[in-house]
Every structure is written in structure tokens, then in C-alpha cells.
Structure 1
Amino acid sequence: MKSCLKKLLLCGVLAGSAFVLPTTIFAEANAEELEGTMIELEEGRNHTETIENAQQYIEEHLSDSFSGLYIDREEKQTGVVILMFTESVAEEHRQALKAFAEQPKEIEIREVDYTEDQLIEKQTKIDEDGFEYDDFTIYHTGVDIITGKVVVGIDPLNEKNVQFLHDKYGDELVDVVEGQKATTLETTAMDAEMNDSMETTDKSAQEEQERNFFQKMIEAIKGWFS
């Protein structure tokens, strides 16, 4: 009876926290099993095994049309693995890829116009042509595999300058946005460094609290089995 009461109390504490584990874990698992479960939950959130299996399959069957992948967490906190291809994927391959996920909805297959390598090639071309123009300056370039565009940040941003870049590099691959000149003031750099340091400290403290919480939880569970 006393043992059951301890378990119920601990489950109640966990239910009020931001991280809730199934009650069956507390009833059946020992401390080592619990630690393993926590690792599995994190790997599941990142879809590690699903991605590794999908990549191996793609390398063997669909490498010519594969564009890239990412985890979309916009609609689901656990995320959906987005696999992108430049050609339509046959139904047999779709089913094979979806079978690597615990649930079919955890993998989504999309058809895109360009591969990541093609986007990088376009970005490299823009960089090689230089950043200073008569009417504007390019401050940054980057590849956005989600939108399938090379993002080019310029200043000033206006219709004339945007059209110039689209005429030069094509609007189907290039997304022109406002760019900002980086400051070189020492005070600004010091402020940024201090802010980063404070954020790191706060994050470390939070992570330490979480580790202590779960360590105490594990120690309590160990007592049930000793």
C-alpha cells in the first residue's frame, strides 16, 4: 500500500510538470529502463531512426530525384519529416518510405522544382559575381530548402533593384529581401556578447534544474526496487 502511494504521488508531480511520461513506465520500469525511455523519446522527437532508414532507401532507389529533407514542427510539436523530390515518387516507393515511420502521417513526400545542389550552385554564382552594384549592395545570400529559393538580402530594397536581380538570375530561383548592414562598433559587439552570455547562463541553469529533477525522480524509482 505504501509503495503504491509513493507511485501515485510521483505520477501526480510529473503530471503537473512540462514533461509527462506514461504511468506504465513508473509501474514496471527500473531506473535504467527509465533512462533508456527518456533517450528513446528524444530520438523519436527527432525521428532519428526514421530519417536514417529513409535516407538509406532513397540512396538505393531514388537518389537521382532526391532534393533534401527537414523536420516541420509548425503543426505538430513532434514534427513531420518532409522528404522532397524533383520528380513524382511512385506509389510503391511512397508506401515503402512511409513504412519507416511509426505512423504514416509522420512522413510527408513533396515534389519540388529544384534540388538543394542546384540552389547552392545558384547561390555560389551570385556570390562570385560580387556584392556591390551601382544602385544597391547585397549583404547576404542563403539557401532556403523549404521554399526552394536562394534568399538574397539587399539594401536599398525597391522594385527596381529586385527586378534587376530577377532579370539577372531568374525569379523562379531567387527571393530578394531587405538586407541590413552589419555594424562594426565595439560597443555593439560587446553588448551582443554579453546578451549571448546571459542567455547561455540562463539556459544552462534551466537545463541543470531539469537534470536535477529527473535525477531525483530516478533515485526515487530506484528505491521502489531496492
Structure 2
Amino acid sequence: MKSWLKKPMLFGVIAGSAFVLPTTIFAEANAEELEGTMIELEEGMNHNETIENAQQYIEEHLSDSFAGLYIDREEKQTGVVVLMFTESIADEHRQALEGFAEQPEDIEIREVDYTEEQLIEKQREIDQDGFEYDDFSIYYTGVDIIDGKVEVGIDPLNEENIQFLQDKYGVELIDVVEGEQATTLEMTTMDTEMDGSMETTDESAQQEEERNFFQKIVDAIKGWFS
């Protein structure tokens, strides 16, 4: 584990909505160094190295039962790598996988009923059968890897239509919810509005870029103390 991750060296003061970073950071670090630091922070929060090592181990030892993975940020902003398997894995494999993380709690091993590929196959089946039925329309389908379901958005949503889809595709694999048809917003513009927007586009883009930059720093530092 990199030393800067063990002991964060950036400190800030939060007063209301203002976030102040020490001037020495910008005085001593040029833009290239700062960009490199942000890349390392992003890679750390995405657990790239942990995931790469875990995937290689799984491919060699646990490929038959591997169901998929994702990063869960609900409890911890820096995220926990969730590895899913369709059956319980031996303690030696569990310990080996946890060893790839900087902290054992950064990896969670979960047992699930279906693999991600099985969910994708079920989604394809639903899509290939079409979206228009006599009593309802399917507006979208999507794989929910966390809950292990294929979400099917329909309209109108009622017990009869839900039962029809569950009988057709299986209650275990699908979650039928209310769907809405995609719409296009009408845009009304006037010449004066267009002229004004042309003048402020570059400035707004620059301000947005600066906000995003500082927000990344704020989010990263918050993660250290969560």
C-alpha cells in the first residue's frame, strides 16, 4: 500500500460550503504532479489493482462459481469490492482474495443464486420476444447485478401484467416495475437568448471544469476519514 494512502497528507478546512486547501500544495506541485495525484486517488477509490489481482486469481481457481463483481459505496465512500459466487468458497480462497485488498474489509464475498451472464441471457430473451403486448408495453429492461434480477419496466403496471411476465419468464429472475416512455423535451429559444448563451458558453465550461476538479479532491479526502 502506498504511503500516502496510509497517512493522508492533505488537510482542509470546511467552513459552511467553502473548502480551503493549503497553499503549499499548489505552490510546490505543478499541474502535472497534481494530475498524477488525482489519477492515483481515482485508481485507489476504484480499487483497480485489487480487482485485477482478484480476477486473475478467480480465473485460475474459482471460474466455475464466479457470478460477477461490483463496487459498493453505500456504507463506505471509498467503496467495497463485492465478489459474488454461486456457491460457498473455501476459507483458503477467501483469505487469498481478501489478501489482495489494502484492508480485508475492502473486499466482501457474497453468495448469490445467479451469475451476471445468466441475468444478461434472461434480459436478451425478454428483449427478443418484443416490447408490445396486448395489455401493456415494456419500456425498458436492465440487469440489476446487486439484487440478482432483471428489472422490467412496463406500463400500465398492475397485478395481471406482473403475473403474466412472471409466468412467462420466472418469478425468481425478474422484477417488474412501473416504466415510463422516453420523451423529448421541447426547446424554445429566442435570438437574444442564443446570443447571450454563445457569449457565456466558454466561461461556464471553464467554471464547471474547476468545480468538478475541486469536487474530486473534496470527495477523495472525505473518503479518507469515512
Query: What are the Cα deviations for residues 76-125 of structure 1, in whole angstroms up to 9, with x where unaligned?
Result: 11110001111111110000000011100000000000011111111111
Kindly name which structure, 1 or 2, has the bigger radius of gyration based on alpha carbons.
1
Match of 1:166 in 2: 166
Indicate the residue corresponding to 1:131 in structure 2: 131
Q: 1:122 to 1:212 in 2, by over 3 A?
A: closer
In the alignment, the residues of structure 2 paired with residue 213 and residue 154 of structure 1 have an alpha-carbon distance, to the nearest angstrom, of 37
How far residue 34 of structure 1 moved from its aligned partner, in angstroms, is: 6.1
Counterpart AA for 1:167: D
Q: Distance in 2 between matches of 1:212 and 1:94?
A: 38
Q: 1:210 to 1:97 in 2, by over 3 A?
A: same
**Cα pair distance change 1:176/1:104, threshold 3 Å:** same
Other-structure match for 1:117:
117
For the structure 1 residues 144 and 203, does the alpha-carbon distance in structure 2 shift closer, same or farther, using more than 3 Å as the test?
farther
Normalising by structure 2, what TM-score?
Answer: 0.72
Tell me the percent identity.
Answer: 70
The aligned counterpart of 1:15 is 13
Q: Shift in Å at residue 33 of structure 1?
A: 6.5
- The CA deviation at 1:38 is 3.7
Q: Which runs of 5+ in 1 are unaligned?
A: 1-10, 192-197, 215-226
For 1:109 and 1:117, locate their aligned partners in 2 and report how far apart those are by CA, in whole Å. 18
* Counterpart in the other structure of 2:196: none
Q: TM-score, normalised by structure 1?
A: 0.72
> Does residue 177 of the first structure (1) align with residue 177 of the second (2)?
yes
- List per-residue Cα deviations over 1:36-88 (Å, max 9, x = no partner): 44432221111111111111111111111111111110011111000111111
Structure with greater helix share of residues: 1
Instruction: Find the aligned partners of 1:210 and 1:138 in 2 and give their Cα distance.
Output: 36
Change (3 A) 1:180 1:33: closer
Coordinate RMSD, CA, aligned? 3.1
Q: Which residue of structure 1 lines up, in the alignment, with residue 153 of structure 2?
A: 153
Separation (CA, whole Å) in 1 of partners of 2:101 and 2:44: 10
Q: Structure 2 matches for 1:49-88, cutoff 5 A?
A: 49-88=49-88
Which residue matches 1:7?
A: none
- Between the aligned partners of 1:63 and 1:33, the Cα distance in structure 2 is 39
- Pair 1:18–1:62, CA change in 2 (3 A): farther
